[in-house]
């Protein structure tokens, strides 16, 4: 039940919603959606709406389905809030992809706030600086991994279409069509999704044929892998 001293606080930004209720001097926050860019603003607004006298904040993140590196800044916000308001803050319910991200950056997947942030008061200055540097490097690696995954997802449809074109042209299997694309990419020093786009475009009415270097690479690869 929502306490009369704390109205239900619900805001939506970038698919993140935070509901709040009060039990005595405890504030129970429940988050759901995606913790991505803009999530820090949503969490900050929810914290700002808490009434005076709160001594403990429990943040339930079981409803969070996706976390990216920008969403991790919420942990820094919570650490700052602890230092400014002298309250105890815990998080729980991390699961699925968000939990994996925490594990990858070396944070406690049960309650990452226990690990301490870059400016955590319970860490010596040198240790805090080392943690900050290591965390920054890990975040950069995660950003690169996420970008690569998004690019792969964006490229997948055209690659599948190109495989279908090659299967029809050469009577080969899906795996053989994939090997043709992969080998042609290596031999022509051309990114695989560019070759796939050229193959797909050539199959449309009045579509342009692939450039001659790509045609040679595709013919060579097809001779190796097509029946």
Q: Is residue 76 a part of any domain in this protein?
A: yes
Q: Do residues 97 and 165 both lie within one domain?
A: no
Whether residue 9 has pLDDT greater than 70: no
- What's the whole-number mean pLDDT along residues 114-131? 43
Residue 117 in this model has a pLDDT that exceeds 50: no
Give dist(CA 106, CA 138) in Å, integer. Answer: 9
In DSSP notation, 24-80 reads TTEEEEEEEEEE-TTHHHHHHHHHHTSPTT--EEEEEEEEEEEE-TTTTHHHHHHHH
Question: Looking at the domain assignment, is residue 43 inside a domain?
Answer: yes
pLDDT of amino acid 127: 39
In a domain, 138, yes or no: no
Q: Which domain holds residue 210?
A: 143-225
The pTM of the full predicted model, rounded to 2 decimals, is 0.47
Longest dimension (CA), the chain: 76
In the chain the beta strands, taken as DSSP E runs, fall at: 12-13, 16-23, 26-35, 56-67, 88-92
């Amino acid at each position: 039940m929502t306490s009369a001293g704390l109205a239900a606080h619900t805001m939506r930004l970038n698919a993140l919603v935070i509901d709040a209720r009060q039990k005595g001097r405890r504030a129970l926050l429940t988050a759901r959606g995606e913790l991505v860019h803009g999530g820090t603003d949503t969490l900050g607004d929810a914290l700002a709406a808490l009434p005076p006298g709160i001594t403990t904040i429990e943040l339930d993140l079981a409803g969070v389905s996706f976390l990216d590196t920008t969403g991790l800044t919420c942990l820094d916000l919570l650490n700052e809030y602890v230092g400014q308001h002298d309250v105890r803050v815990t998080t729980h319910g991390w699961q699925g992809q968000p939990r994996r991200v925490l594990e990858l950056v070396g944070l406690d997947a049960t309650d990452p706030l226990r690990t301490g942030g870059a400016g955590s008061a319970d860490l010596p200055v040198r240790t805090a600086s080392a943690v900050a540097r290591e965390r920054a490097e890990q975040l950069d690696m995660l950003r690169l991994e996420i970008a690569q995954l998004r690019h792969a997802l964006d490229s997948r449809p055209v690659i599948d279409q190109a495989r279908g074109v090659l299967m029809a042209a050469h009577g080969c299997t899906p795996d053989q069509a994939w090997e043709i694309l992969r080998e042609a990419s290596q031999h022509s020093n051309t990114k695989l999704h560019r070759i796939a786009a050229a193959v797909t475009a050539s199959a449309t009415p009045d579509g342009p044929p692939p450039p001659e270097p790509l045609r040679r690479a595709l013919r060579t690869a097809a001779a190796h892998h097509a029946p």
